Structure 1
Amino acid sequence: MADLLAGYDTDGDKRITKDDAPANKDYFLLSTKGDTVILRNTYYISNLLQELAIANDSAQENLLISLRQIQEPPAERISRRIKTQFWDDLTRTIDEAGLDRIAGDDKMHDTQQRVYVPFDDAVGIAYFKELQTRKPKLEVVVLPENITAEYVRSINEKPGILSLKIEDGKGVPFVVPGGRFNEMYGWDSYFENIGLLIDHRYDLAKAMVDNFCYQVKHYGKILNANRSYYLTRTQPPFLSSAIREVYHAMPAKDKEWLAESLAIAIHEYNTVWMQGNRYTPQTGLNRYYADGLGIPPETEPGHFKEILQEYADKHHVTEIEFETKYKSGEIKSASLDRYFVHDRTLRESGHDTSWRLDNVAADLNSVDVNALLYKYEKDFEFLISTYFKDGFKGLDGTTYTANFWHEKAETRKLLMRKYLWDDKLQGFFDYNVKTQQRGDFMSATNFFPLWAGLCTKDEAAKLVTILMHELKAEGGITGSSKASLDKYAINGVQRQWDYPNGWAPHQMLLWKGLINYGYDNEARELIYRWLWTITKNAVDYNGTIPEKYDVVNATHKVYAEYGNVGTDFAYITRSGFGWMNASYQYGLSLLPEEYIKKLDALESPDSVFEK
């Protein structure tokens, strides 16, 4: 390894990439069984480094590496490592065996391993209290029955991990996104599940749903993530889809599990989405709306410097003084309070951050959340009509029929057409309940109705035309159009969910949406563009698989406010990034073999899909 790095890692980052290896050192001599093999390719040389790193991890002094491993076709190598290595490396448990890995990171702020446990989880309380007697650094906090925004703010200086399901004396496992995201996230988990099911990891996919249901049962919602400061915040709703897809994939059907999970999903729909601030009676539609007080504690220092400076100037104090006095309550500001309601809400939406949502998120009946809830209603209709034909009793004692949910879905469809469909622009757009105006921001989320299946054929045709014209880039689908970015960006800060960046969940949902309506050619092109971006970057950059891409330039080198998780590693990436891994497996499952061969050859999308 030392010799290899000395010869080819010219920038000293412990990786061999296309930015290394000067022209006079474009090969490596490998002697095996008396033969000499010349590696004239950075991809092959970096593969050798990766295989040596794997061997080094297992402390093997000697290892036989086959030429096939080094020259493995890129798509095959990426997919194999996702299936056999990445999922395992991203798997966590909150129990004695897994606590050190998840509760010892820099998000804890101190030396304590602090675990918050719901007041009504007797199994979890008993487990962690007993564990506390053997782990002196473990602090177990039992949450109050009524979790208010004031309470959550009061524990901001004592952050901790929120417990998940304990079963048979062990933590039920879950998959984390990766990098600094070392906890179970709401919507990430659904997309990770798609990859897990493709890779036949049925038990792990089921465990993810079980932890979702635990969260609804004990925390009142599917959490943004299971950290203490997320207690008032949910994320985009995908539970019904996760239940339906896991049950369909189960080798042995467990109808009791289905009934229990379905009852909890209906409870989530009723209590999280159709009551309180996330439901807007004036339109009958929904919005994201995250409760909480003050500055979101998970943000990096200085993230709100510009907005806080604006208020500090008004109060004739320094920005640091203002922040201190605002946090203590000495200075009050209703408009700044509202700004942070919007900020927490855009984080609840999963799209943190986007100019589409900046300082307005909590006022929007957004297309995405309403499309996702339409999908809930259709899933409930399907599951009850298929498996519970005599009706289904919910947790509240109500007996639900398939027709009940059919009517709910039809009503939402009509309301979405009334408030979100724009005849002039020929598409769905977010509706502002405060101004009573429909927006015109062109976002990938505007096309979620294709995935949910709520469009007519005529509407779908119009949406597909716009999608392919406005959001298609060399490397996939952009988060927004450049025109909308130019119109709505109020400064030069690049919001990571906007143009020119592309994200795995958008790609995956829109591929499925196109296929739903018979646009297989368009889906195939967009799949190829995205997989080509992932493959090309992995080939050129030592196997790098990050959180997101600049799809206009087809690169992982993203210059948004949060950087790009998954690009910082030595020798070899051991986990990729959760939903990126899933998107690769899902895309490969949809792509004909002839295109996978083109992918391995790194044929550019524009040459494969000539105008």
Structure 2
Amino acid sequence: MKFLLKVDQVFEALLLQEDTDHDKKITKDDLGPKRFVLVDESTKEQQIIVGTYHLSNLLQELAVLKENEEILGEVDLDCIQENPVERISRKIREDYWDELTRTIDRKGLKLIIEDVKTSNEVATLYVSEKDKQGVAYFKELEKELDNFEVVVLPSTISEEYVATLDDKPGILALALQQKIYSLQGVPFVVPGGRFNEMYGWDSYFIGIGLLIDGKLEKAIAIAENFKYQIIHYGKILNANRSYYLTRTQPPLYSSLLVAIANEGNIDKKWLRSHLETVILEYDTVWMVQGNRLTPTGLNRYKADGVGMPFEVEPGHFDDVLEPYAIKYNLPIREFEKQYLARIITDPELDLYFVHDRSMRESGHDTTNRLINTCANLNSVDVNSFLYKYEKDIESLIRDYFEGSFTAGNVIHTPEEWAKKAEFRKERMTELCWNETAGMYFDYDFVNQKQFPFEAASTFFPLWAGLCDDYQAQKLVENALPLFMKTGGITGSTQNSWLESDQNAPQRQWDYPFGWAPHQMLLWEGLLKYNYKEKAQEMVYRWLWLITKNAVEYNGTIPEKFDLETSSHKVFAEYGNVGTEFDYIAKEGFGWVNASYQYGLQILDGKLIDELNQLISPDELF
């Protein structure tokens, strides 16, 4: 049934009555009567809307009509009455992915030029001189757009060169594609609405969500931009901004390729070109001895660059810098200024920032597991991802290329890659598996001992298929309960959090916070080792949390959750993207959106029905 309404009048009346805290949302925190009468302008029929969830749905529907500048508009009561699971999933599928999509081209650059992160007087786009087509295209745009400059990067980009860009930070070009009438940017999907750059491991999880929602072309576009970055910038970047040129991201490119290939009817020529690039990345980014490959034969995260990372907010490192400011007898801001300018250099502080930059490369920025130690660690996460690379390359060569694949004049076979994977598995078991704890720990290859910090990355070998059945059982029966909360698993255990420096900022990737990638990798790992019932439970916990917060807080889908309180209200070193919006959530958050769609693929129908009961029984029409 549809009701014809005077949009502005009803919108204002609804907010005046129900939005008592004036945050432009209707949530469980508001103290209004939670009961609003609608009157159809044509029939004068009345309908009473009751409860936080239904009233917030009404507000969202009215917000859309206002955006469309409708004076008299129809509100569909079926949309207001829609079950929460169906509504959340539908909005992700129909709206959120499109809202999060960006392009770097004539159309897309207008948004990026106005980006709040663009601190230059003139917005700057960097493009590699190797991309001849891109250089020509963007140089033409430079003539058309106001307040816009194109800078051509050299073919070989050193860390010393990257340091010279800090005074003039900018966005990095991504792939272009020829359409019928013009060149256009290959689209990418950003993590959240305040971002205009393509982030590394976020993009893999987003890609999984896109594939589930039937958006194969957008998932392929992510792979195209991965390939472009490897060819033109030497690696898949933490994100495509100039100050990220010295660091990569958790390696998940091969997993995206396999997921795309599993959709069927994939072009073999396309797959060949991407498999070549995966192998190139493996060899040149991960397997160079002394950089990200260590003497143990296992890998680490190891970003280049010296000193404080560029992207952090002022004051972020005050707890780190303060002792050095005292050491050099300077006010902290003056010390920071001189250190950034390299007027003062301090080897001990420089080493701290080697670890900090490497931690940011890991995607876990920040966690006490990696603070001041990351570059010393054969971390469980990166080695699980690289084991998966080796197994993926093995299976792709076997299944799609008849057992032989040539890349860079080298012939590769499935057996070769199976051997690489087996070696990594043996070393992981030897160095990272802890029989007493029944979990995997990072291995400190510098001090030649395990680093016994209990982190959710201990479950990544389940996802990668790296552990044997006995180890999987220990992980599920012994380790999992230590991380489990009502709404899923935390980034670390409470025990590891309590043993860390309690005077330090609360790290967002540690206890008590829960993140979508940890949940998704855990679920797939549980299914891989046939823990189907446990997988159902863990999926339900996380989807319950997302659904509960969306129902109670005007459709909010945030970046992360506090699992102690089962809430999106997070108090850590960084905020919580996806919570700041007016009237209607436009895009959610990329990998949380993906986790919801992926979880619904796994979850039993009866459990989905239970999620739909999160509305209070008295919230009826």
Common topology (TM > 0.5): yes
1:235-264: CA deviation from partner (whole Å, max 9, x where unpaired): 1000000011112215x3200000000000
Q: Does the 8 Å contact 1:477/1:507 carry over to 2?
A: yes
Change (3 A) 1:516 1:578: same
Counterpart of 2:187 in structure 1 is 173
CA positional deviation for 1:146:
2.2
Identify the residue that residue 120 of structure 2 maps to in structure 1.
110
**Letter of the structure 1 residue corresponding to residue 285 of structure 2:** V
2:578 corresponds in structure 1 to: 566
Deviates more, 1:279-288 or 1:126-135: 279-288
Shift of 1:277: 4.0
Normalising by structure 1, what TM-score? 0.97
Deviation at 1:64, TM superposition (A): 1.3
Q: Does the Cα contact within 8 Å between 1:186 and 1:225 map onto a contact in 2?
A: yes
Q: Which residue pairs with 1:607 in the alignment?
A: none
> 2-side partners of 1:356 and 1:278: how far apart?
20
The superposition leaves residues 378-411 of structure 1 with CA deviations (integer Å, 9 ceiling, x where unpaired) of 00000000011141011x2101001110000001
Structure 2 residue 470 is the aligned partner of structure 1 residue 489: no
Query: Structure 1 stretch 175-184 or stretch 439-448: which is displaced more?
Result: 175-184
Q: State the alpha-carbon separation in 2 of the partners of residues 384 and 390 from structure 1.
A: 5
Question: Is 1:543 matched up with 2:555?
Answer: yes
SS in 1 for 2:117: helix
Match of 2:520 among 503, 508, 522: 508
- Which residue pairs with 1:186 in the alignment? 200
Q: Which residue pairs with 1:204 in the alignment? A: 218
- Match for residue 265 of structure 1? 278
Does the 8 Å contact 2:155/2:232 carry over to 1? no
Matched, 1:315 2:328: yes
Distance in 1 (alpha carbons) for counterparts of 2:214 and 2:138:
32
Q: Counterparts of 1:21 and 1:44 in 2: how far apart (Å)?
A: 15
Q: How does 1:459-470 map to 2 (within 5 A)?
A: 459-470=471-482
Q: Which residue of structure 2 aligns with residue 373 of structure 1?
A: 386
C-alpha separation in 2, matches of 1:580 and 1:385: 34
Deviations 1:164-209 (Å, cap 9, x if unpaired)?
A: 0011100000000013332100000000001000000000110010
Partner of 1:237: 251
CA RMSD of aligned residues (A): 1.3
Segment drifting more, 309-318 vs 33-42: 33-42
Deviation at 1:288, TM superposition (A): 0.3
* Greater displacement, 539-548 / 96-105: 96-105
Tell me which residue corresponds to 1:584.
596
The residue number in structure 2 matching 1:608 is none
Helix, strand or coil at the partner of 2:149? strand
- Tell me whether 447-456 or 106-115 shows the greater mean CA deviation: 106-115
1:84 to 77, 89, 94: 94
Secondary structure in 2 matching 1:217: helix
Which stretches in structure 1 are left out of the alignment for 5+ residues?
Answer: 605-611
Q: Residue 148 of structure 1: CA displacement?
A: 1.5
TM-score w.r.t. length of structure 2:
0.95
Match of 1:292?
A: 305
Contact 1:286 1:366 survives alignment (8 Å): yes
Measured against aligned partners, the alpha-carbon deviations of 1:539-581 in whole angstroms (never above 9, x if no partner) come to: 1000000000012211000111101111111001100000010
Structure 1 position 332 matched with structure 2 position 345: yes
Residue in structure 2 matched with residue 20 of structure 1 by the alignment:
30
Q: Which of 19, 22, 29 is the matching residue for 1:9?
A: 19
Q: Cα distance, 1:34 vs. partner?
A: 3.8
- Determine the C-alpha separation between the residues in 1 that align with 2:67 and 2:121: 28
Give the secondary-structure state (helix, strand or coil) at the position aligned to 2:526: helix
**What is the rounded CA distance, in whole Å, between the counterparts of 1:423 and 1:520 in structure 2?**
24
**Aligned ranges for residues 66-465 of structure 1 at < 5 Å?**
66-168=76-178, 169-250=183-264, 252-394=265-407, 396-465=408-477
SS in structure 2 of the partner of residue 488 of structure 1:
coil
Amino acid at match of 2:195: F
Structure 1 residue 85 displacement after superposition = 0.4
User: Partner of 1:47 in structure 2?
Assistant: 57
After alignment, is 343-352 or 136-145 more displaced? Answer: 136-145
CA contact (8 A) 2:307 2:350 kept: yes
Q: Is the 8 A contact 1:475 1:553 kept in 2?
A: no
For 2:317 and 2:460, locate their aligned partners in 1 and report how far apart those are by CA, in whole Å: 30
Report the 3-state secondary structure (helix = DSSP H, G, I; strand = E; otherwise coil) of the residue aligned with 1:210: helix
| Identity rate, percent | 53
State the AA in 2 paired with 1:568: E
**How far is 1:306 from its partner?**
1.5
Contact persistence 1:280–1:287 (CA under 8 A): yes
Per the TM alignment, residue 465 of structure 1 is displaced from its structure 2 partner at its CA by 1.2
**For the residues of structure 1 that align with 2:308 and 2:294, how far apart are their CA atoms?**
28
Work out the CA distance in 1 between the residues paired with 2:290 and 2:202.
24
Q: Is the 1:150–1:293 Cα contact (8 Å) retained in structure 2?
A: no
How far apart, in 1, do the equivalents of 2:346 and 2:575 lie? 31
Residue by residue, what CA displacement relative to the aligned partner does 1:210-256 show, whole Å, maximum 9, x if unpaired?
00000011111000000000001101000000011112215x32000
Cα contact 2:379–2:441 (8 A) shared by 1: yes
Unaligned runs of 5+ in 2: 1-10, 617-621
Work out the CA distance in 2 between the residues paired with 1:402 and 1:508.
28
For the residues of structure 2 that align with 1:82 and 1:281, how far apart are their CA atoms?
A: 42
Q: How far did residue 323 of structure 1 move?
A: 1.2
Which amino acid in 2 is paired with 1:43? Answer: Y
Residues 520-531 of structure 1: pairs in structure 2 closer than 5 A: 520-531=532-543
Relative to structure 1, the CA distance from residue 490 to residue 280 in structure 2 (aligned partners, 3 Å threshold; closer, same or farther) is: farther
| 8 A contact 2:455–2:491 mirrored in 1 | yes
Query: Quick one: which amino acid aligns to residue 95 of structure 2?
Result: Q
Which whole-Å CA distance do the structure 1 matches of 2:573 and 2:26 have between them? 27
1:60 is aligned, of 70, 83, 95, to: 70
Q: Distance in 2 between matches of 1:66 and 1:490?
A: 51
Which SS does the other structure have where 1:561 is aligned? coil
CA displacement at 1:467 relative to structure 2: 3.5
Whether the 8 Å CA contact 1:480–1:498 is kept in 2: the answer is yes
Alpha-carbon distance between aligned partners in 2 of 1:51 and 1:483, rounded to the nearest angstrom: 45
Deviation at 1:106, TM superposition (A): 1.6
Paired residue secondary structure (2:498)? helix
Q: Which moved more, 1:268-277 or 1:373-382?
A: 268-277
Q: Deviations over 1:134-186 (max 9, x none)?
A: 11322000001221111111111211100000111000000000133321000
